């Protein structure tokens, strides 16, 4: 309004209009100037949520129209100074300029309105329809809206970008819903598997000794913790008869369910074979052949089997590729020098060796999950550190818990990556 009053005042001055009109125009211009500079009124301005593309286009279009109109008037005004025109023709000249300006506006405005209407119908309206999908999108949920698909269906046959966008949206909704359905099925399957693995974990744990074997002659205890829900390690100890106790530790190849199945089958077969045969090497021979016969996946398992006689303190044992145990003799811990043997399940009819020692003090059996434990620097716990722990452990208590604490302190924040099993026995003097 300030701009319009200023232009009107200039034109009035040039036309030598009535003084009262010019004064009125100047007063109005002063009022508008005062209002523009001081802004005496306050209004709460809130952004419009319906801020559509077409509204913004129309705003730009109207601004351009006003600019063209003002340009026409200014052009007519300044043309009066540049061209010698009689006073009698001033009004005719200005009217001619205004008419030309109006013609330009009409030629620009009417086609512009038609084009804008076309854009609104063919572009803006479809895009606005497509934007309604936002209200129907929720995380991990299907887009349940037949109305949306119907909206998009109106445009899918169009051979332009809107048609491509409509087809993409309908395909996106279909693919998203199928994906969510699959995710829900997978989640349900995962829950089912988790439940079954929980049961398998309990079954496997129930197969291991739950209490230490303690009497006046010896003490035997064990610990096993799989890297996953179930694992391939196992240990066992139980009295064969009044004089002898069986001590077993094994480590199946791999982790998880396959290794757990092999270790549990092996544990059961060892018990069955020990009912008929008391020679550890013959037990391993028979066990190896049975595993080789039913081993389509070529899995294998290491196993150490010993039979301790509590009367004469003789320990007869045989080894199938398992790590050598630690024994304490003459108050000194050392790794027992034994025949390494061959892991079970690789080659049939392998002859294992029975060895014998007199066990007078402590015996420690373990799986490689203990010695292979890594810390944050990727260093392994190692056999030397394991041996040093027992050399420095001076308590008469069960060392399994302190050893596990030492391993946890060493590994720091690293997660357990392999099954870990320990078996500790001590002969009482």
Predicted confidence at residue 98, as pLDDT, reads: 60
Average pLDDT over residues 174-181: 78
Q: How confident is the model at residue 106 (pLDDT cuts 50, 70, 90)?
A: low
Paired tokens of 177: 């819903």
Residue 419 reports pLDDT greater than 80: yes
Residue 148 reports pLDDT greater than 70: no
DSSP 299-327: --EEEEEEEEETTT-EEEEEEESPPPPEE
Predicted confidence at residue 220, as pLDDT, reads: 96
Predicted confidence at residue 356, as pLDDT, reads: 96
Q: Residue 366 and residue 79: Cα distance in Å, rounded?
A: 105
Spatial neighbors of 196 by CB under 8 A, at least 6 apart, are none
Residue 82 reports pLDDT greater than 60: no
pLDDT tens-digit profile of 118-133? 777 777 777 777 666 6
Residue 84 reports pLDDT greater than 60: no
Predicted confidence at residue 99, as pLDDT, reads: 63
What percent of the chain has a predicted confidence (pLDDT) above 90? 42
Q: Residue 20 and residue 155: Cα distance in Å, rounded?
A: 62
Supply φ then ψ for residue 371, to 5 degrees.
-75, -25
- Which helix (H) or strand (E) element contains residue 107? helix 90-119
Spatial neighbors of 246 by CB under 8 A, at least 6 apart, are 236, 237, 238, 239, 240, 270, 274, 305, 306, 307
Residue 223 reports pLDDT greater than 70: yes
Predicted confidence at residue 74, as pLDDT, reads: 67
Paired tokens of 100: 């030309």
Domain boundaries, the chain: 2-39+50-136, 137-207, 212-427
Average pLDDT over residues 47-67: 68
pLDDT tens-digit profile of 276-297? 999 999 999 999 999 999 888 8
Residue 73 reports pLDDT greater than 90: no
Spatial neighbors of 154 by CB under 8 A, at least 6 apart, are 166
- Among the ranges given (184-188, 210-214, 257-261, 262-266), the one the predictor scored with the smallest mean pLDDT: 184-188
Predicted confidence at residue 45, as pLDDT, reads: 67
Residue 51 reports pLDDT greater than 70: no
Q: Which range has the top average pLDDT, 96-110, 128-142, 170-184, 344-358?
A: 344-358
Predicted confidence at residue 138, as pLDDT, reads: 63
Q: Residue 45 and residue 32: Cα distance in Å, rounded?
A: 21
Name the more confident of 44 and 270.
270
Instruction: Say what the pTM is.
Output: 0.63
Looking at every residue in the chain, the average pLDDT score rounds to 83
Residue 313 reports pLDDT greater than 80: yes
Predicted confidence at residue 88, as pLDDT, reads: 52
CA-nearest of 148, 127, 159 to 52 is: 127
Residue 149 reports pLDDT greater than 70: no
Predicted confidence at residue 304, as pLDDT, reads: 97
Residue 60 reports pLDDT greater than 90: no
Name the more confident of 79 and 371.
371
Secondary-structure class of domain 212-427 per CATH? alpha beta
pLDDT tens-digit profile of 341-376? 999 999 999 999 999 999 999 999 999 999 999 998
- Among the ranges given (88-97, 186-195, 240-249, 265-274), the one the predictor scored with the smallest mean pLDDT: 88-97
């Amino acid at each position: 309004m300030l701009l319009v009053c200023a232009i009107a005042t200039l034109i009035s001055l040039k036309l030598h209009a009535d003084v009262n009109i010019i004064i009125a125009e100047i007063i109005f211009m002063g009022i508008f100037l005062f209002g523009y500079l001081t802004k005496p009124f306050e209004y709460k301005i809130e952004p419009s949520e319906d801020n559509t593309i077409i509204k913004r286009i129309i705003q730009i279009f109207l601004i351009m129209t006003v600019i063209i109109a003002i340009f026409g008037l200014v052009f007519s005004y300044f043309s009066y100074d540049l061209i010698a025109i009689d006073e009698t023709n001033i009004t005719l000249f200005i009217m001619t300029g205004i008419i030309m300006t109006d013609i330009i506006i009409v030629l620009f405005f009417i086609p512009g309105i038609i084009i804008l209407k076309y854009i609104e119908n063919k572009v803006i309206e479809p895009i606005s329809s497509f934007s309604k999908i936002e209200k129907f999108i929720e995380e991990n949920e299907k887009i349940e809206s037949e109305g949306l698909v119907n909206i998009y269906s109106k445009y899918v046959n169009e051979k332009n970008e809107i048609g491509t966008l409509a087809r993409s949206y309908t395909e996106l909704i279909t693919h998203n819903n199928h994906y969510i359905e699959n995710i829900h099925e997978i989640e349900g399957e995962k829950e089912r598997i988790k439940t079954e693995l929980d049961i398998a974990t309990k079954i496997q744990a129930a197969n291991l000794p739950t209490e230490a074997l303690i009497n006046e002659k010896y003490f035997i205890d064990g610990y096993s913790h799989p890297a996953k829900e179930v694992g391939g390690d196992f240990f066992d100890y139980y009295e064969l008869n009044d004089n002898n106790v069986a001590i077993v530790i094994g480590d199946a190849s791999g982790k998880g369910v396959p290794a757990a199945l092999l270790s549990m089958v092996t544990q059961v077969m060892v018990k069955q074979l020990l009912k008929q045969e008391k020679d550890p090497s013959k037990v391993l021979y028979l066990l190896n052949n049975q595993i080789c016969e039913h081993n389509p996946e070529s899995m294998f398992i290491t196993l150490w089997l010993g039979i301790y006689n509590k009367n004469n303190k003789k320990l007869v044992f045989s080894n199938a590729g398992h790590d050598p145990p630690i024994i304490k003799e003459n108050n000194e811990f050392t790794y027992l020098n034994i025949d390494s043997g061959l892991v079970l399940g690789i080659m049939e009819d392998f002859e294992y060796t029975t060895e014998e020692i007199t066990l007078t003090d402590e015996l420690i059996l373990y799986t490689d999950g203990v010695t292979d434990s890594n810390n944050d620097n990727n260093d392994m716990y190692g056999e030397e550190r394991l041996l040093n722990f027992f050399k420095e452990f001076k308590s008469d208590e069960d060392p399994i818990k302190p050893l596990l604490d030492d391993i946890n302190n060493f590994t720091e924040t690293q997660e357990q990556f392999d099954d870990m099993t320990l078996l500790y026995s001590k002969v009482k003097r």
